[in-house]
Amino acid sequence: MHYITEDTKSNMYKMVSRSLEPKPAHVCGPRCLGPLTFHREAVGALVSLSQGARRADRTEDNFRHGLVFSSRPVQPQERVCLRVERCGLNWCGAMRIGFTTVPPIARDLPSLAIPDLTDTPGHWAAPVPEMCCLAGSELEFWVSYGGTLYFRNANGRQHKLLEGVDLSWPLWAMIDVYGQTCSVLLLGSEKKYFLCNRKSCPAPQRHSSCSAHQRHASPNVDKYVNVKQICDDSHDRYPLPCPASKQTSNCESVEDCAVCMSQKACISLRCGHQCLCLQCATRVIQEFGTCPLCRQNINN
């Protein structure tokens, strides 16, 4: 555990004062949390930002130098929502998420959040399991009022990652686009209150909430896949292989959808993998066009 000295706090206070910009006026009402993007200046050496600084891409030929930060401090219980846009097959491990009390500024960043930043005071980060970071996966993470870092993936399960986050100073969200995670899209943030919810603004268009996949099937889905409902609930669960260690074979199936991990995999793709539920199959076909297991093109 790292402790912040008074001198360090004094220097951090000066950095906070310089880095916090006046909040722009909003017309969306009192439920607005303010705009939320990635910080445009504090980015890793191999990161490029696009889509209004909401998408962060890291080159696939390296697994590090993927650090990005939120453009403003986030509040306790403000849930930062992300979607994994692209994964690489040549690395193991996935993105790291966390928070920092050190204001993001234009400077040379270290190559890794863990351990380069977490070994210094004011940084807390933890890895997200690879199974929760497949292309198309959505998740949200936040710090509680007790200083505990949590994340929730599409199946709705809440996972505790670490404790001891210092809430006495402003906190910026920190994401390390690491390993097999090559691209993430910042979907916004939301803070739940007893009588209402507050969200970041402007709210980007999203296909679903971070906690559930509620999409409508496309009438053209049968053109690309063969629908087969799994009726036997007693089948053994097949673990997904590590992309860097071995390749999947045709005609392999998994019990849970490889994207949302909450519905049964009832869709057989043209490559032979039965790995998607009906809702996620529509989106994978429309947005990615490749099998999430073998990356074979399924649109041709």
Per-residue pLDDT tens digits for 171-209: 999 999 999 999 999 999 999 887 788 899 764 444 443
The confidence band for 225, taking pLDDT boundaries of 50, 70 and 90, is very low
What would the pLDDT profile of 141-152 be if each residue is shown by its tens digit? 999 999 999 999
Burial environment of residue 210 by CB neighbours within 10 A (0 to 12, 13 to 18, 19 or more): buried
Q: Return the SS3 of 63.
A: coil
CB atoms within 10 A of CB 202: 14
**Cα–Cα distance, 297 to 98 (Å, whole number):** 34
Residue 19 pLDDT exceeds 50? no
The tokens for 26 are 């909003």
**Cα–Cα distance, 83 to 138 (Å, whole number):** 4
**Cα–Cα distance, 3 to 145 (Å, whole number):** 19
**Cα–Cα distance, 12 to 2 (Å, whole number):** 15
- DSSP character at residue 241: P
Residue 125 pLDDT exceeds 50? yes
The confidence band for 278, taking pLDDT boundaries of 50, 70 and 90, is confident
The tokens for 178 are 């690491």
Residue 24 pLDDT exceeds 70? no
pLDDT at 95: 96
Residue of 101 and 293 predicted with greater confidence: 101
The tokens for 198 are 């507050």
**Cα–Cα distance, 204 to 54 (Å, whole number):** 9
What would the pLDDT profile of 86-122 be if each residue is shown by its tens digit? 998 788 899 999 999 999 987 789 999 999 999 999 9
Residue of 299 and 93 predicted with greater confidence: 93
Return the amino acid letter for 290. T
